[in-house]
Structure 1
Amino acid sequence: MAVEKFQVKATLKEGFLVETEARGHRVIVDEPKNLGGTDQNMNPVELLLSALGACQSIVIQTYAKQFGIQLDHLTIDLEGELDTDGFLNKSDVRPGYSNIRSTYHITTDESEEKLDEFIQFVEAHCPVGDTILNPVNLTSRLVVNNLVK
């Protein structure tokens, strides 16, 4: 079994700005103004869609040759729906996405039937998509650093 561990550190800066870091790469996260942020960058749920689209693109690139598919161009549009009242504790609804849709725009000479089969394979082998579709053991632990006065 080839289990690999991935790690990210998220550090709250000012307001809703969060700096995330993995392997020396940084991404700044924010919220739009209507949710209290300064709208300097994508928010976490947009990053989730971005991660899904990036993962789908990478799986497509990884397996296209194996499926005999020549890609001339690929774009994936993603959209998700969530009720922000769950996040804002205004009602008893889930805070996460209820629906996510991907639309693949592929420029190629391949048949639509072959591409449909390929996209089914892609979606079955995308780690981010699988993580969204299936329950994950999500645990946390608290470490308190008390300030000495």
Structure 2
Amino acid sequence: MSVEHIQNSVKDVIAYLNENPQDALSNDPPITAVMEDGLRCRATDEDGNTIVTDMPQAIGGGGSAPSPGWLSRAALATCDATRIALHAAQSGVTLDTLEVTTDSVSDDRGLLGLDKSVRAGPLSLRTRVTIGAAGVDQKILREIVDFAVAHSPVADGCRRETPSKVEVRIA
């Protein structure tokens, strides 16, 4: 897609939402995960989009697919990359290079419930961005990244507590 196409699409969405703010809030479509075999799990949405996860063999999985934690980091990296590309296009900047790498530090004692003081999720996350655009000042590129990462939905969900609840139905 060209920068102009993305730029025009974003302008159209912004104009629509400014005129129809009631349409900005939406329910994200549900995704259902079903255990298939051992720790292998298949998640599917209403449109049939599917991903499969599995845990490493060391913890009893088959190692046949990425772990949920891997997909979480992939979601963060791809969401940040997408948001950076969107904001660059909004700013009229054509990127020559964009690479986003995420990693984290975790303590498996949290996953296994061995120590109540250890969180189950990552203890820390790191995002590294490599960005380049011919003839564009470094300050502008840094501002694009800073704005985009501050407005990345997955990054936001990783950084703040999100109200949530668990509903259990016994089959």
TM-score normalized by structure 2? 0.80
Which 10-residue stretch deviates more, 23-32 or 61-70? 61-70
What does residue range 1-149 of structure 1 map to in structure 2 within 5 Å?
Answer: 1=22, 2-6=24-28, 7-22=30-45, 23-92=47-116, 93-109=118-134, 110-145=136-171
* Contact 2:84/2:149 (8 A) holds in 1: no
- Point out where structure 2 has 5 or more consecutive residues left out of the alignment: 1-21
RCO comparison, higher one (Cα < 8 Å, 6+): 2
Partner SS, residue 123 of structure 1: helix
**Stretches (4+) displaced over 3 A:** none
- The separation in 2 between residues aligned to 1:115 and 1:18, in whole angstroms, is 39
* Contact 2:132/2:141 (8 A) holds in 1: no
Calculate the aligned-residue CA RMSD, in Å: 1.3
- The separation in 2 between residues aligned to 1:91 and 1:73, in whole angstroms, is 43
Q: How far is the alpha carbon of 1:96 from its aligned partner?
A: 0.8
**Number of corresponding residues:** 145
Identity %: 25
Which protein is richer in helix relative to its size? Answer: 2
Q: How far is the alpha carbon of 1:35 from its aligned partner?
A: 2.0
- The separation in 1 between residues aligned to 2:137 and 2:125, in whole angstroms, is 26
TM-score normalized by structure 1? 0.91
- The separation in 1 between residues aligned to 2:101 and 2:138, in whole angstroms, is 18
- Aligned AA for 1:68? G
